[in-house]
Amino acid sequence: MSEWKECKLGDVAKLSKKSWKVGDEQMPYIGLEHIEEAKLRLNGVGDSEDVASNKFRFEAGDTLFGKLRPYFRKVVKPNFDGICSTDIWVINPQKGIDKDFLFYFFANKELVDISYSASGGTRMPRADWDFLSQTIWNIPPLEEQKAIAEVLSSLDDKIDLLHRQNKTLEELAQTLFRQWFVEEAKEGWEVGKLSDEFVFTMGLSPKGETFNEEKIGTPMYQGNADFGFRFPTNRVYTTDPKRIAERFDTLISVRAPVGAQNMAKEKCCIGRGVACFRYKLDNSFYTYTYYKMNSLMEEIKQFNETGTVFGSIGKNDFENIEIIKPPFEYVTKFQNEVKPIDDKIILNCEQIQTLENLRDTLLPKLLSGEVRVEG
């Protein structure tokens, strides 16, 4: 590592504070809620029409770093121009620093931990740039920076490709569900209640002292904050699970926001913010269950407007949702024909997890010089 140089972070990166105000041109908006925690990607964007003034502009390729301490690695590099929350740093490289390398440099957990260790404030502590800019880091020469970024970017490109494929496959499965059970629905099909077709369990949270992040016991999901594209993220475990969801059960968030949907990737504990569903006549029909519940989202999400402070949906509310009950033979045919599409989504999700784990293992090793690549 003799050619690596010790540098202050302020010699590597600088903050951009280009301002945007109401009345300026309309642009995509990124808030902390749009950045997937620890995933290094966006889960959507907002619109500047819906936000207040005094936001920061960013350009395609800039690094955006969420500076609030409760979050872990809210870091992205958008490929479009836009504006972002003032709770996000817009970071540009100094001379001699590759822009893509800079993104991974700020995505490194070591830097994230250091930035939060010196955060200031009480309720929502914020990272301190003055402190962080004085920290010392070993930085490789430009050509090796580019080689490091290329290795990590190749993994992220594969991850993005799988995400795009999953979006296309899920849209196809939803289209087929609508065709089979809405557009081609038969007049003689029975009308019933949700509880006539599905077994469901409302979650119940264990005591807080049973929680841990050391993977001891059963993974537990509390609600929307744990949900991903298809499967939740394992953040918290419990040694005293109260209510259980089985592998591939459909999960629905029942407290604000009501109606987020996922699938259990393993046997898990569901807290009070989650309910799980499975088809009564055959527990293995997880594809039909998932897309049937998805088709009811408009009605389920209406419960976001109920309650005194936050929206919620209860057991009786689910039981009283009116549905059309297709014949079992028809459901079986759909399950058999669409399940391969759904299983491909599940396989892609497993591959995404593997690639993310590989990237997150390689990233600190490459940035520390423990693993070297030729520039």
The 10s digit of each residue's pLDDT in 70-87 is 777 899 999 999 999 999
CATH code reported for the domain at 5-138: 3.90.220.20
Tell me the C-alpha distance between 42 and 38, whole Å. Answer: 11
**Residues facing residue 5 across a β-bridge:** 139
190 beta partners? 325
Using alpha carbons, list the distances in angstroms from residue 286 to 57, 177, 182, 346: 44, 13, 19, 12
Report the percent of the chain where pLDDT is more than 90. Answer: 83
Q: Which pLDDT does position 214 carry in this prediction?
A: 95
Question: What single letter denotes the amino acid at residue 367?
Answer: L
Q: Please state, in angstroms and as integers, the Cα–Cα distance from residue 211 to each residue in 120, 205, 275, 359, following that order.
A: 27, 10, 19, 28
**Is the overall model pTM greater than 0.85, yes or no?**
yes
How large is the C-alpha radius of gyration of the chain? Answer: 23
- Choose the weakest-confidence range: 48-52, 76-80, 326-330, 362-366: 48-52
Can you give the pLDDT at residue 122?
Answer: 62
pLDDT in tens, 268-300: 999 999 999 999 999 999 999 999 999 999 999
DSSP string spanning 202-240? Answer: E-----GGGEESS--SEEEE-SGGG--SSS----EEESS
Comparing C-alpha atoms, which of 80, 90, 126, 87 is closest to residue 18?
90
Six-digit token string for 234: 């394992």
> Are the C-beta atoms of residues 139 and 5 closer than 8 Å to each other?
yes
Distance CA 154, CA 39 (A): 15
- What pLDDT, on a 0 to 100 scale, did the predictor assign at position 133? 96
Q: Which of 36, 138, 39, 35 is nearest to 359 (CA)?
A: 39
Q: Which fold has domain 190-325?
A: Adenine-n6-DNA-methyltransferase TaqI; Chain A, domain 2 (3.90.220)
Q: How far apart are CA 82 and CA 26, in angstroms?
A: 9
Token pair belonging to 307: 């309650």
Q: What letter would DSSP give residue 19?
A: E
- Residues of the chain by 3-state class (helix, strand, coil), percent to 5: 40, 25, 40
Average pLDDT value for the chain:
94
**Sign of dihedral through CA atoms 95, 97, 100, 103?**
negative
Please calculate the CA angle 327-330-334 and round it to the nearest 5 degrees.
140
Show the tokens assigned to 145.
């920076």
CA distance 53 to 48: 9
**Which residue from 24, 21, 47 is spatially nearest to 34, judged by alpha carbons?**
47
Q: Write down the pLDDT at residue 189.
A: 96
Share of the chain above pLDDT 70, in %: 97
Distance CA 9, CA 112 (A): 13
Name the DSSP class of 32. G
CB-CB contact of 101 with 110 (8 Å) = no
CB-CB contact of 323 with 295 (8 Å): no
User: Helices marked H in 179-203 — which ranges?
Assistant: 194-197
Report pLDDT digits (tens) over 186-217: 999 999 999 999 999 999 999 999 999 999 99
Token duo for residue 342: 């759904």
Contact 268, 218 (CB under 8 A): yes
Chain position carrying tokens 């010196």: 118
Locate the domains of the chain by residue range. Answer: 5-138, 190-325
The β-bridge relationship of strands 136-139 and 5-8 is antiparallel
Over the stretch 97-132, which tens digit does the pLDDT of each residue have? 999 999 999 999 999 999 888 776 667 788 999 999
Amino acid at 204: L
Q: Is pLDDT above 70 for 309?
A: no
Closest CA to 46 of 37, 35, 38: 35
